[in-house]
Structure 1
Amino acid sequence: LRRPVRCMLNRDEDMMITGTRHPFLFKYKIGFTNEGLITACYIECYANAGWSMDVSFGVLERAMDHFENCYRIPNIKVVGWLCKTNTPSNTAFRGFGAPQGMFAGEHMIRDVARILGKDYVDIMKLNFYETGDITHYNQKLDTLQINRCFDECLEQSNFYEKRKKIQEFNKSNRWRKRGISIVPTKYGISFGIPHINQAGCLINIYADGSVLLAHGGVEIGQGLHTKMIQCTAKALGIPADFIHISEFATDKVPNATPTAASVSSDLNGMAIIDACDKLNTRLKTIKEALPTATWKEWINKAYFDRISLSATGFYSTPDIHYDPVRQPNARKYNYFTNGVGVTVVEIDCLTGDHQVWSTDIVMDLGSSINPAIDIGQIEGAYMQGYGLFTLEELIYSPQGILLSRGPSTYKIAGFGNIPAEFNVSLLTGAPNPRAVYSSKAVGEPPLFIGAAAYFAIKNAISHARTERGLSTDFTLNAPATAAKIRMACEDNFTKLIDEPLPGTYTPWNVEL
């Protein structure tokens, strides 16, 4: 009708029509040596796109780029398909397909360790990327810190000591089992579309010395404005109290890049430095003439000398020109953010319930602009990843209608799911030359570490299955919900689900 429409949706309707993350199915073949060194991989990635395209190609591409996670595999063939189905169109969320892809890589490492009868931690160390290695999309890895993060996380979490105590606990507890797992992450930072790796800003300085900052990012609770004020304060050499933020609008910063891909601090921060450099150049002669004056006196003098106190800044990420056909050897990602997490869980074999006892995370964020914000981002990302891989199960009818569409049927992480002990630390002495003030992006990279809870649950289930003489090679599709955990801890009770009860058989006299 070409007229405005107002929709007032309740929660059920909202969940029914809103796109979610793309569910993935991975099928892979891997070749490896007797020592556990992975030499080859063929992997097929199937993404459920829903009924329309949306951003599914970008999500699939990032999943294909990140499936190997932190592991060097010299011979790779990765193939991806988008599957059109009768569900609502799926879309992107924090991670943009990378968590789904890295999930496959972590299974590969554990498969190799299980088949060879080796410790998967040793298999991880053997296969980690090193600085200078080449990815399967032909990008050379600069200053990779995964080994440092891994070693520090093992030490800070007391991984081996905890694993030993877990084994002792499991020997003396039949129906409650604990598990531990360590998970690394390597996340590429930049937009997949080269031309949107750009940003602008506008800085106005007023005669009283106050500064008005307008940049191209949107504050959505991630602390972007705080970091940009810090960048401005450092570049101009003034207290942050002098600086005020103007909420983003296209009349001040045109053609702004979306606030996404974890690059908003990188792009807008560098644009701010560009604008501040112009202002500092204009103020240089005044500062030299009045070296003992204050900021307000310098600005007042500049105003009376008719020097422009307004400047625009612009930044475009250098060397981002990737095209798989015409430029196969170009840089696809500006840099990579690394991190490692260790999680301990306890499961109830009779109900499938679980509890997260502890989580320790070490992240490489270069020289953090604001450690308090970054640690909060890491904690939040972990909890979102934890929910993705252990709790949030979407159930559809054969007609493609979402059935889990409310709080009673769709479980998200709450206060009670936060690890009882939660430690986050930032790697020191690892500056990043390719971002603002040697920092690194923090938004999306830590999310996959939440998968440590899933693999810890799987480890606990393996203990239960080994005790019962069952194979540790079993399927546990994410999310690892209570029902799936219960059914994976096989016993005579779970067999009743698949086997019809004989006429004289009652469940009360089953021997466990």
Structure 2
Amino acid sequence: MGDSSDECGTFIAEGLHSSHQSAVQPNSRPSSTGNQSFEIARNGTAVGLPAAHLSSRLQVTGGAEYTDDTPTPPNTLHAALVLSTKAHAHILSIDDSLAKSSPGFVGLFLSKDVPGSNKIGAIIHDEEVFATELVTCVGQVIGIVVADTHENAKVASKKVKIGYKELPPILSIKDAIKARSFHPSTERCLEEGDVDRCFMSGECDRIIEGEVQVGGQEHFYLEPNSSLIWTIDGGNEVHMISSTQSPQKHQDLVAHVLNLPMSKVVCKTKRIGGGFGGKETRSAFIAAAASVPSYLLKRPVKITLDRDVDMMITGQRHSFLGKYKVGFTNAGNFLALDLEIYNNGGNSLDLSLSVLERAMFSSDNVYKIPHIRVRGQVCYTNLPSNTAFRGFGGPQGMLIAENWVQRVAVELRRSPEEIREINFQHEGHVLHYGQKLQNCTLRQVWDELNASCLFAKARETADDFNRNNRWRKRGVAMIPTKFGISFTAKHMNQAGALVQVYIDGTVLVTHGGVEMGQGLHTKVAQIAAASFNIPLSSVFISETSTDKVPNSSPTAASASSDMYGAAVLDACEQINARMKTMAVKHNYASFTELVRACYMERIDLSAHGFYITPDIGFDWKDRKGTPFNYFTYGAAFAEVEIDTLTGDFHTRTADIVMDLGRSLNPAIDVGQIEGAFIQGLGWVALEELKWGDSEHPWIRPGSLYTCGPGTYKIPSMNDIPLNFKVSLLKDVPNPKAIHSSKAVGEPPFFLASSVLFAIKDAIIAARSEEGHDDWFPLDNPATPERIRMACIDDFTRHFASPDYQPKLSI
């Protein structure tokens, strides 16, 4: 039978027209190749060197300790949350009688048991630690069970029975807009020029209108949320170890919930197994809930969420809806943009307004638009509160922009890359919120990428392939980005550090930032080593702790290396200045000798460093200002190949050029670029969140169906581009940040949209063979289903027909 099948397959293939043989050709994946290009701009003993991540050896061997690895103290209890199963309902009753008889059960704690305030929140206190009378999403915390083991706590929590009276839920942005369901005081507007006059004056040769839906994304950090909390000194002090990007927020909210001063609450974080924004604020309510039984029982309590629970209750990247009206000339120049954007905040505000604001700042991407108006609002829905995610609204705002840019190109029958170039911003350009571009390297980045990827040749090669292959198509795209660096809330742009030099010449650094795999501790240690002119091995960073460095901003906004590096440098320079009095008296053979001499002379070898980002600030009343310290620029080229019969695709080539100034550590920065690109590829093409709503009636309304790796597809080894090239722009020092460097964490993420637009370019080639050259929407994620149905042919026309009725066999 095997031989017959092979012969039959060969006969069929040979009988096909050569362009149709692509339907049966096997798709074998060759091994990937990578290329990394950067300069080493060494500064002192360590800065600028491509040093290995300080924890890398521990991490790859499994020796690195995370919160769940912390040895539990004697008598430790384990906690599990009692969660709402309804999206919107009154709580009628709570019955714990079955739970009380469950093995190992110790207690159930509800809102009535909270010693302090039951109201918490990231910025405003609009959510409850434990729901009292009303639940507003599936997964809202109603209570917490503690038991002798993790498994027993989970079993007991499921035995707590809740009585509900259901209410109608709002489960989408469009439903929220229709119902006028918005979080209070979240309406925002940015405006430059006169949009209405431009549309009415006849200046615009063409005007287009449309909508863009932007999908959400799960953080999918490898380590789920975890906290270990205990009391000391008779319960007067509370200590915790938490997996969080913001130990200060844990300290603040636990103190608030327990009615304690912050000086009696300590939060420590050794490292976290990924955060991506998901542990900036949404980790705090979990620690706050667990702190209640620990404080009341005076026993250690540990809580570690299972993956499905973590995904269900901690929120995701905000989905967005953009409604645009764009006016432009026949030559391709943008003249006016009227944009409305909405994001899905969920059932509490959290950081949704700040995410919306950054999306509004980013809604021009890199393009000159003389007349622009951007209005935005945060939608209130009965879903778990959405939150920060790498890019913090910037990618969503830029993706909406690139969608209408691509539509302008289709309208004009021009290349999207050509339309982009025509409208590039330049040095001295004033943005729609009043900030003037300085040290703009956009054109330099773009031109270097163009030369690197040989775009014209790549375009020609793809077109030639498409002419000869009916069922496989290739597409190419080049996408630029501009990402503002700073927290947009001015007060958060501050950082502290503590540097201690010991008499053996080693240095202990503590700063307010959290190591989550991004190499922050490595970069900061390099800065300290270079300042003291000692080897990197002589500097140690143990953990982040609120009793060492107070009032720290979250490790977020890509600004941590800038801020905490500068704070550490400030402390080092203070110590260097003190030691200089001894250094000039004698030529010491080593740093250790100098330190010992200073100690003998009673010179202080410890210093607190501090840094504030200068010359920034934005006033939403005036709607003008300078929200960002500087911009990180980048551009990416992608070539993809799609199977039009299945919707499958693979990325043949990804070529990235970024301006990172003089990199503090090019090895880590290149890794950050590669990681951000792959995570972004997941957002634009693979990862789809499915919630129960009117379109998915088989899923409980408001419940997350894709709550694990079995139903939610994140990028894997097979999704890495076959040819992956990353280059850092050379000789572009950045005067605005420490050692002329630039931030890297979030800016590369959006560059993965080059894959989305390359997919769309390939679909355009497939549709063209059927005589369809008009514009069509392709919202992210570009899943195989969406790719397949966008490729118009006899099959998709049949299945898209309103007369088509699938035959179901039972």
Question: TM-score category by the smaller chain?
Answer: over 0.9
8 Å contact kept, 1:182–1:343: yes
Q: Which residue of 1 aligns with 2:771?
A: 469
Letter in 2 for 1:144: C
Change (3 A) 1:127 1:345: same
Partner of 2:644: 349
Match of 2:514 among 213, 218, 242: 218
Match of 1:389 in 2: 684
Question: Which of the numbers 505, 512, 519 marks the counterpart of 1:209?
Answer: 505
Deviations 1:153-211 (A, max 9, x none): 11111211111100000000000000011111101110111111000111111112111
Secondary structure of the structure 1 residue equivalent to 2:563: helix
1:379 matched to 2:681: no
Q: 1:454 to 1:140 in 2, by over 3 A?
A: same
Aligned partners of 1:6 and 1:205: how far apart in 2?
35
Matched residue, 2:788: 486
Q: 1:309 to 1:14 in 2, by over 3 A?
A: closer
Which residue of the partner structure matches residue 181 of structure 1? 477
| Aligned-partner Cα distance in 1 for 2:595–2:667 | 32
CA distance in 2: counterparts of 1:488 and 1:20, whole angstroms? 27
Secondary structure, counterpart of 1:180 in structure 2: strand
Instruction: Call closer, same or farther: CA 1:292–1:308 in 2, change over 3 Å.
Output: closer
Change in CA separation of 1:502 and 1:42 when aligned onto 2, cut-off 3 Å: closer
Where do residues 203-352 of structure 1 align in structure 2 (5 Å cutoff)?
203-291=499-587, 293-326=589-622, 328-352=623-647
Distance 2:307 2:507 in 1: 42
Per-residue deviation, residues 452-472 of structure 1 (Å, max 9, x unmatched): 110000000000001110134
For 2:496, the equivalent position in structure 1 comes to 200
Hey, what does 1:509 align to over in structure 2? none
Instruction: Classify the secondary structure of the residue corresponding to 1:177.
Output: strand
- In 2, Cα distance between equivalents of 1:120 and 1:448: 17
Q: 432, 435, 438: which one pairs with 2:740?
A: 438
Quote how far apart the aligned CAs of 1:292 are. 5.2
Whole-Å separation in 1 of the counterparts to 2:509 and 2:492:
21
Q: Does 1:418 align with 2:720?
A: yes
Contact 1:71 1:129 in 2 (8 A): yes
1:375 is paired with a residue whose SS is helix
Q: 2:750 aligns with which of 439, 448, 468?
A: 448
Q: Which amino acid aligns with 2:363?
A: F
Q: CA deviation at 1:404?
A: 2.0
Partner of 2:658: 363
Could you tell me which runs of 5 or more consecutive residues in structure 2 were left unpaired when the two chains were aligned.
1-112, 115-291, 294-300, 694-700
User: Which stretch shows the higher mean deviation, 342-351 or 391-400?
Assistant: 391-400
* Corresponding residue number in structure 1 for 2:431: 135
The residue that corresponds to 2:329 in the other structure is: 33
- Secondary structure of the residue aligned to 1:289 is coil
What amino acid is the match of 1:496? H
State the alpha-carbon separation in 2 of the partners of residues 278 and 90 from structure 1. Answer: 42
Q: 1:123, 1:205 → 2: CA distance?
A: 56
Larger CA deviation: 413-422 vs 277-286: 277-286
SS of alignment partner, residue 179 of structure 1: strand
| Aligned residue among 411, 424, 429 for 1:115 | 411
Alignment partner of 2:558: what SS? Answer: coil
**Partner amino acid, structure 1, of 2:731:** G
Query: Per the alignment, in what secondary structure is the counterpart of residue 322 of structure 1?
Result: strand
Alpha-carbon distance between aligned partners in 1 of 2:482 and 2:527, rounded to the nearest angstrom: 26
- Report if the CA contact (8 A) 1:68-1:104 is conserved: no
Shift of 1:364: 0.5
Query: Partner residue of 2:155?
Result: none
- Between the aligned partners of 1:260 and 1:134, the Cα distance in structure 2 is 26
Structure 1 contact 347–460 (Cα < 8 Å) conserved: yes
Q: Which of 372, 375, 389 is the aligned partner of 1:76?
A: 372
Mapped partners of 1:48, 1:354: distance in 2: 29
* 1:158-173 equivalences in 2 (<5 Å): 158-173=454-469
The structure 1 segments of at least 4 consecutive aligned residues displaced by more than 4 Å after TM superposition are: 5-9, 500-503
Structure 1 CA distance for aligned equivalents of residues 746 and 613 of structure 2: 19
Q: Which amino acid aligns with 1:388?
A: W
Q: Is the 8 A contact 1:319 1:330 kept in 2?
A: no
CA RMSD in angstroms, aligned pairs only: 1.7
Letter in 2 for 1:390: A
Structure 1 stretch displaced more, 13-22 or 212-221? 13-22
Aligned to 2:759: 457
Q: Deviation per CA, 1:318-352, whole angstroms, max 9, x where unpaired?
A: 112211225x4431101110100001100000000
> What secondary structure is seen at the aligned counterpart in 2 of 1:80?
strand
- Report the secondary structure of 2:727's partner residue: strand
Aligned residue for 1:357, secondary structure, equals strand
Count of matched residue positions in the alignment of Structure 1 and Structure 2: 504
Task: Give the TM-score of the pair, scaled to structure 2.
Answer: 0.61
Query: Do 2:417 and 2:477's aligned partners in 1 also have CA atoms closer than 8 Å?
Result: no
Residue 241 of structure 1 and its aligned partner are, at CA, apart by 1.8
Choose 1 or 2 for highest CA Rg: 2
Cα-to-partner distance string for 1:487-510 (whole Å, 9 max, x where unaligned):
00011111222336699x99xxxx
Tell me: CA distance 1:251–1:14, structure 2 relative to 1, closer, same or farther (3 Å). closer
Task: Indicate conservation of the 8 Å contact 1:367/1:430, yes or no.
Answer: yes
User: 2:707 is matched with which residue?
Assistant: 405
For residue 299 of structure 1, report the CA deviation from its aligned partner.
1.1
Deviation, 1:14, is 2.9
- What is the CA distance between 1:283 and its match in structure 2? 1.4
Q: Does 1:98 align with 2:400?
A: no
Match for residue 440 of structure 2?
A: 144
With 145-154 and 80-89 compared, the bigger mean Cα shift is at: 80-89
TM-aligned CA distance change 1:223 to 1:7, over 3 Å: closer
User: Which residue among 492, 495, 498 is the counterpart of 2:797?
Assistant: 495
- Tell me the SS of whatever aligns to 1:451: helix
- Alignment check: 8 A CA contact 2:483 2:633 kept: yes
User: How far 1:474 moved relative to its partner?
Assistant: 0.8
- The runs of 5 or more residues in structure 1 that have no matched partner are 507-512
Q: CA deviation at 1:13?
A: 3.1
Offset at 1:291?
A: 3.2
1:154 aligned residue (450, 466, 478): 450
> What is the letter of the counterpart of residue 692 of structure 2?
S
Aligned partner letter, 2:646: T
Residues 500 and 446 of structure 1: is their aligned pair in 2 closer, same or farther, counting only changes over 3 Å?
closer
Distance 1:143 1:8, change over 3 A: closer
How far apart are the structure 2 equivalents of 1:225 and 1:286? 30
TM normalised by structure 1 equals 0.95
Cα 1:283/1:14, change in 2 over 3 Å: closer
Greater alpha carbon shift after TM alignment, 243-252 vs 399-408: 399-408
SS of 1:330's partner is strand
The amino acid across from 2:784 in the alignment is A
| Residue 140 of structure 1: how far off its partner (Å) | 0.6
Asked whether 1:429 is paired with 2:731, we answer: yes
Q: Which amino acid aligns with 1:203?
A: V
